[in-house]
Structure 1
Amino acid sequence: MKTSAAFLRYASPNEMRTIAREDVGYYHAVVIGAVYDFAEETNVKSPSTYVHALRRCIEEHPFFCVIVGDRTTDKAYYEHVSSIDVEKQISIVQDPEIGTDPLQAIGRSVKPELDRPFVPGIPPWRIVVLPLSPTQCHVAFCYSHGIGDGIAGVAFHKTFLEGLRETPATIPSSTIAPPKKPLPEPFDTPERLTISWSFLLAPFLAQYIPYFLVKMLGLRVSASYVNDGTWTATPIFFDAKTNQNKLKIRQIEASQVNKVVQLARTHDARLSGVLHQLITRALSKAVKDNNVTNFVGQTAINMRSSIGMPNDVATEAVSGCYTLLGRSKVTGPLTTQEWASASKATKEFASAAVKLDDNPIGLLRYVSSIREWTLGKIGKKRDSSYELSNVGVFDGDAGSNTIGKDKVKVIKMTFAQPGQVGGCPISFNIASVKGGDLVFTITWQLGALGLGGEEAMEDKVVDEICDNLKQGFNDIV
């Protein structure tokens, strides 16, 4: 039975971008996962174990109580649902090889979710629980990018953890009537993201004047830095019948991460800046084409601080920043030049996180049809070589709420997203917990890399990229 719903507001241009991308089949669930470690044996295989915690998330975050109306048009809108059957949003999965390699089992449980559309008529999110032991489970929060960015998934787990730590007075009902709260205001309003005439017209003018004048006038043809020597793999393609997402998962031990972070600080850099250097090294080995001279990395930027919004607000408040990196044959510790590049990138990311004027996301409001723009990307060159998205360090003990802190803890975070059909050919997704291991996934659209042809060859190439990325951490320290 279809849930009755009430209109809340129209989607902003950037929200519309994620809705259109999902509706045409290019991109389904973002997945932010966490390994929960209970102090005592718990029935981790029962959906009822998670009902109260999910109720807390629904009550706390308005975007988890909505569905999207008119999603096939350019005027999609959000509606508040009158009720949610929480148990219908929960799946419990099993893996017979869980004892052999729990991390790979987590990867196997997450991968199918990247290709799985959401059920119409109910809020576009679900949790997939993988029991790891009588006291541990991995909870994957799988949700539409139309209701939140990567940080929204982290906010979910903060609230979910608080809910698990509480002891409800009565057995909670699985059906909830969510409170009707206003949605957070869109990040990409015209008032916030002002666009200058020069920024708006530069790509248009650059098409009609000689290239030497483009350089002389400092005009940017696009937000990216792609040139003839940039590796962008295959042109953009999509076949709904054969499209498949691929995933690899690895982890870096906490001791290694801590050493790299401490060393980076002495070079005025942060981890994301360092990761770009290591990714460039790994891709330089994987890409055999000698005509490739550089890579353009796209970094997801959390914009909440620019508008005074805390990170525990689940919404869509993300932008992007592009970094041009030369092909590298270097091995061993980072060179002076690489540390300088990591430091420069770190500063650029910090600057981008507070820059509202001439923000590329603001240009979306000038697109006449975001849906047609999305579909029109097929066959075109990609705008970058790869994406780096780091949802940060999860601290489950932060804050003043001390209730039940010894009852359950989060000891590992995971992050995955579908391959970017309309964007870069490969994505590096990073998540970690305070004092714990760093987990990364590499995701891509099958066939997008152009590095082998057969699926087995692509798997082999990405396995090597994973190994070289891990080796990079060892080489630094």
Structure 2
Amino acid sequence: MNKEMDDVALRPTGHMERFNILRNHVRFYNKFGVTATYTAPRALLASNSLEQVVYAALREVLNHHPIMGVTVQDEATVEPKWIRLPTIDFRRVVEVVNADLEASYDSWVTDALRAPFVVVDDLPMWRVVVGKGQDVETFAVGFFCHHAIADGVSAGAFQLTFLDALNGLIDGKTEIISNIEEEEVVSVPKLPLVPNMEMKTALPVGIFFALKKIISTYVWSTEDPLNWSGSPISAEAPRPPIGNLKTFSLSLDVVSGLLKRCRKENTSMTALLTILVARKLAVMYSSYTHFTSNIPFSLRKFTGHSNRDMGCYVSNLTPCFSSDERPPWGYISCRSTSGDKPEQDDEKLWEGARASKKQIEEGTATTSNQNVGLLKFVSDYNKFFYGMFGKKREHAFEVTNIGVLDGGVGGEQKASFDRVQFATAQCTYGDPYIFSIASAKNGIMTVSLSWATGMLNDNEAVEMIEWLEGALKGLSEA
């Protein structure tokens, strides 16, 4: 690395990054994470402690993701700045916990998501929690981070890079330092940051689209009395909200059956999950008939970033559902043929799934008139966030699917992972039900539901997630 690189200033923060920096600063949000379950050759861990292996792998990961070596300066201002850390002390950002790797990870993942995340000038904007099981060959690694440095796909990219680093240790391409004290504090590579989203795409916004959004946000907005979105946004609730988590896993056979059925019905897994949740909500909250979803999606195909780049490159779309016998124009029917069985395997279900897929494809086909493109018009984030108090939430539920991560095939001389869990903390203005989906290639798919204490009754959340698990398993057998 030449001397000139040492002196190069880091690029400015982008609009999406500033949004997430200020959102955390006002304590509306905490963090999210992706956890993977690794199997490594016994020889790797027989001669080295788990901490040594994790530290050595993280040292290599830092060479591939420059954003992991920064923190924020002037966090509370309209133009916060990235600053590169000189060093990272792994002892302060890595925690090892005892875990039953055959059981649910929800308890310790929830603890990680709830742990306060205060930006300080000598720590990076991420944390790692290692779940240590009884079998020395198997362990879980959870990567939890500030949303300004990464999106869900990026957290998956961390796991892919960590896997590569483990295999580099096994192959001898990367060295494990025998004295762990020398491995605990590492210098941060002086690398330029990957360009932010706005540096790679213009995100054009039409005047009518912008005016509609600005007026509804700041001037005047009508509330649909038939639309359910949970309790209003409260200034009295804890900030960030107290999040809860419940997860289920689907085996490779079940996932294969669902994918086969989705292909037959010309729809997708995300679309199927979305219509199923909408149909269940229509039964659970039957005095309402309108339910708006929130589907975040990646803009990487437009920005040129790969799935291995770490940053925040997302927008969202909001399909609307109706259980009315005759849904309003633009709404997708979530009316069940049998009112008490929204999982009924009938043509109406698959019509809704196809309609959901169509809206997802249309909403992700261009960078024009994306919601994220409106951030350029926000001049006062404090006013933007605090102005939400007392208002109705925009959506009933969120479905985020980060797709399939290739954890390799393992073997005697290779590390691999076959289980991935994606989960998020709740947001002050967030949706009552937030579903996060991730899959391991040739492994299992996990579906996590997060909800906030006081926003939902725990019994409601449990009813929803247990029903969804049964519905998906039933449809996979059809």
TM range (shorter): 0.7 to 0.9
Q: What is the match of residue 361 of structure 2?
A: 350
Q: What TM-score, normalized to structure 1?
A: 0.86
Q: What is the match of residue 257 of structure 1?
A: 255
Q: What is the match of residue 168 of structure 2?
A: 166
Q: In 2, are the aligned partners of 1:30 and 1:142 still within 8 Å (CA)?
A: yes
Q: What is the match of residue 109 of structure 1?
A: 108
- Find the aligned partners of 1:314 and 1:204 in 2 and give their Cα distance: 30
Q: CA RMSD in A?
A: 2.7
**How many Å apart are 1:416 and its aligned residue?**
0.8
Q: What is the match of residue 372 of structure 2?
A: 361
* Cα pair distance change 1:326/1:350, threshold 3 Å: same
Counterpart mapping for 1:209-358 below 5 A = 227-238=224-235, 239-240=237-238, 243-287=241-285, 290-327=286-323, 328=335, 329=339, 330-358=341-369
* Cα pair distance change 1:351/1:55, threshold 3 Å: farther
**How many Å apart are 1:140 and its aligned residue?**
0.6
Q: In 1, are the aligned partners of 2:40 and 2:137 still within 8 Å (CA)?
A: yes
CA deviations over 1:362-404 (Å, ceiling 9, x no partner): 1111112123211221111101001111111111239xxx9x8
Amino acid at match of 1:236: I
Q: In 2, are the aligned partners of 1:147 and 1:315 still within 8 Å (CA)?
A: yes
- Find the aligned partners of 1:146 and 1:79 in 2 and give their Cα distance: 13
Q: What is the match of residue 125 of structure 2?
A: 124
Q: Secondary structure at the match of 1:47?
A: helix
* Cα pair distance change 1:445/1:397, threshold 3 Å: same
The 10-residue stretch of structure 1 (8-17 or 262-271) with the greater mean CA deviation from structure 2: 8-17
Q: After TM superposition, which residue ranges in structure 1, 4 or more long, deviate above 6 angstroms?
A: 205-209
- Find the aligned partners of 1:422 and 1:61 in 2 and give their Cα distance: 30
Counterpart mapping for 1:459-470 below 5 A = 459-470=458-469
Q: What is the match of residue 146 of structure 2?
A: 144
Q: In 2, are the aligned partners of 1:386 and 1:426 still within 8 Å (CA)?
A: yes
CA deviations over 1:28-75 (Å, ceiling 9, x no partner): 121110000123263697311211211121110111011011111221
Q: State how many pairs are aligned.
A: 442
Q: What is the match of residue 413 of structure 1?
A: 420
Alignment partner of 1:87 is 2:91: yes
* Cα pair distance change 1:350/1:178, threshold 3 Å: farther
The 10-residue stretch of structure 1 (180-189 or 265-274) with the greater mean CA deviation from structure 2: 180-189
**How many Å apart are 1:86 and its aligned residue?**
2.6
CA deviations over 1:93-149 (Å, ceiling 9, x no partner): 124xx27xx332x11110012222235221011110111232211111011101011
Q: In 1, are the aligned partners of 2:57 and 2:166 still within 8 Å (CA)?
A: yes
Q: What is the match of residue 440 of structure 1?
A: 447
Q: What is the match of residue 176 of structure 1?
A: 186
Amino acid at match of 2:292: V
The 10-residue stretch of structure 1 (86-95 or 144-153) with the greater mean CA deviation from structure 2: 86-95
- Find the aligned partners of 1:376 and 1:190 in 2 and give their Cα distance: 31
Q: In 2, are the aligned partners of 1:103 and 1:250 still within 8 Å (CA)?
A: no
- Find the aligned partners of 1:366 and 1:249 in 2 and give their Cα distance: 38
Q: In 2, are the aligned partners of 1:420 and 1:426 still within 8 Å (CA)?
A: no
**How many Å apart are 1:325 and its aligned residue?**
1.8
- Find the aligned partners of 2:22 and 2:11 in 1 and give their Cα distance: 17
Q: What TM-score, normalized to structure 2?
A: 0.86
**How many Å apart are 1:234 and its aligned residue?**
0.2
- Find the aligned partners of 2:440 and 2:357 in 1 and give their Cα distance: 21
1:38 to 37, 40, 45: 40
- Find the aligned partners of 1:5 and 1:420 in 2 and give their Cα distance: 37
**How many Å apart are 1:334 and its aligned residue?**
3.2
**How many Å apart are 1:155 and its aligned residue?**
0.5
Q: What is the match of residue 51 of structure 1?
A: 55
- Find the aligned partners of 1:310 and 1:155 in 2 and give their Cα distance: 9
- Find the aligned partners of 2:279 and 2:60 in 1 and give their Cα distance: 44
Q: Secondary structure at the match of 1:230?
A: coil
CA deviations over 1:421-459 (Å, ceiling 9, x no partner): 12312200111111221111111111112xxxxxxxx22
Q: Secondary structure at the match of 1:103?
A: coil
**How many Å apart are 1:208 and its aligned residue?**
12
* Cα pair distance change 1:48/1:110, threshold 3 Å: same
Amino acid at match of 1:314: M
The 10-residue stretch of structure 1 (408-417 or 184-193) with the greater mean CA deviation from structure 2: 184-193
**How many Å apart are 1:332 and its aligned residue?**
4.7
* Cα pair distance change 1:227/1:334, threshold 3 Å: farther
Alignment partner of 1:70 is 2:67: no
Q: In 1, are the aligned partners of 2:96 and 2:129 still within 8 Å (CA)?
A: yes
Q: Secondary structure at the match of 1:384?
A: coil
Q: Secondary structure at the match of 1:93?
A: strand
Q: In 2, are the aligned partners of 1:397 and 1:405 still within 8 Å (CA)?
A: no
**How many Å apart are 1:318 and its aligned residue?**
0.5
- Find the aligned partners of 1:317 and 1:37 in 2 and give their Cα distance: 31
Q: Percent identity?
A: 24
Amino acid at match of 2:128: I
* Cα pair distance change 1:206/1:310, threshold 3 Å: closer
Amino acid at match of 1:185: P
Instruction: Structure 2: give runs of 5+ residues left out of the alignment.
Output: 1-5, 178-182, 324-334
* Cα pair distance change 1:206/1:174, threshold 3 Å: closer
**How many Å apart are 1:286 and its aligned residue?**
3.1
- Find the aligned partners of 2:57 and 2:310 in 1 and give their Cα distance: 16
* Cα pair distance change 1:206/1:67, threshold 3 Å: closer
